[in-house]
Amino acid sequence: MAGGLDTIGNREPGLMRALKAARGVRALARKLSIAPQSVSGWPRVPRDRVFEVARVTGLAPVEIRPDLADWLKAEQERGWMERARAKFAIRNDLVGRATVKSARDVDRPDGRTMDLLDLGLITAAVRFAAGERGLTLGMVMNAPRGGAGGAPTPAQSARSYAMSLAVVVGRVNAETVAGLFGLTRQAVDNAAERYLRAREGDEDAEDGKVIERGRERRAKAADPALWAAERRFIAQLAGEA
């Protein structure tokens, strides 16, 4: 051991990086407020310690556990979204419930109740989608429901985008989104699924091809523009844009 850094060969490179950055087992254990024996027994940094180790060593989480890259990315996005939701609720005082009506409230003239935060998040998603597509909020909200077949209108496309943002980013229940837009939950789920597929691409493709509905098609790459737009939306929710 040189300079207090343990270099036992059965440790994964990510743990070795963390130990080097912290200047040894004891130093890392002290920063984590755990016993040195615990750190000594690690072959790798445990999943539930990755972000904490990253914080105290200054390393990126993916440098510590590159094998968890997808999970780490999802966890980081989730944390960002939850903070944005909280800031959005506080800034707009969205506490309580509201009575809203939709095209599905034919038999319920008194409307349905909805959390004010959910209503605010859906409205924010519609405003954002409308702005991104050069439309007005009214055009998106009043887009015809449409039927099977045929290309969607710009307003329908923007509505699908808004619903996806509300579900994926805003964490609003799909049934709640469906109720406000007067659509079925399946329609909202389908929109969110299409959005995620376009955003993330076909990560499970083999030889550049995927099988979809029994047919082979060329794999699609992740869309960086959707990722960038999603971050702009989150920044708006957090009041940082």
CATH of the domain at 219: 1.10.1750.10
| Residue 170 identity | G
What is the residue range of 167's domain?
A: 79-238
CA torsion sign for 82, 86, 88, 94 is positive
Rounded CA-CA distance 105/111 in Å is 6
Distances (CA, A) of 77 to 55, 73, 118, 135, 169: 17, 6, 19, 28, 9
Rounded CA-CA distance 191/182 in Å is 14
Q: Greatest CA span in the chain, whole angstroms?
A: 76
Rounded CA-CA distance 100/236 in Å is 24
Treating both helix axes as pointing N-terminal to C-terminal, what angle do 50-57 and 13-22 enclose, rounded to 10 degrees? 40
The pLDDT profile of the chain, 241 residues, written as one tens digit per residue, is 333 444 455 899 999 999 999 999 999 999 999 999 999 999 999 988 999 999 999 999 999 999 888 888 878 777 888 888 889 999 999 988 888 776 555 555 556 778 999 999 999 999 999 999 999 999 999 898 865 567 889 999 999 999 999 999 898 999 999 988 989 999 999 999 999 888 877 655 455 665 555 666 566 777 889 988 998 999 999 998 6
> 58 and 88: one domain?
no
| Residue 34 identity | I
> 158 and 187: one domain?
yes
Contacts of 31 (CB under 8 A, 6+ apart): 22, 56, 57
Q: What is the pTM of this model?
A: 0.66
What is the domain count for the chain? 2
> 172 and 198: one domain?
yes
Distances (CA, A) of 21 to 15, 36, 54, 188: 10, 16, 10, 46
Any idea which residue has 């998040």 for tokens?
121
> 30 and 92: one domain?
no
> 21 and 129: one domain?
no
Structure tokens at 121: 């998040």
> 154 and 190: one domain?
yes
Would you say 155 and 143 are in contact if contact means Cβ atoms under 8 Å apart?
yes
